[in-house]
Amino acid sequence: MIRSIVRPECADDVADALAAAGFIGMTRSSVVGRGRQQGITSGTVRYDELPKAMVMTVVEDDDVETVTAIVAKAAWTGHVGDGKIFVSPVEAAFTVRTGATGL
**Can you give the residue ranges of every domain in the chain?**
2-87
User: Which fold would CATH assign to domain 2-87?
Assistant: Alpha-Beta Plaits (3.30.70)
- Asked if residue 98 has pLDDT above 90, the reply is yes
CA nearest neighbour of 54 among 85, 17, 20: 85
User: What is the distance between the alpha carbons of residues 91 and 52, in angstroms, rounded to a whole number?
Assistant: 27
pLDDT for residue 80 is more than 90: no
Tens digit of each residue's pLDDT (9 = 90 or more) over 24-57 = 999 999 999 887 777 777 788 877 888 999 999 9
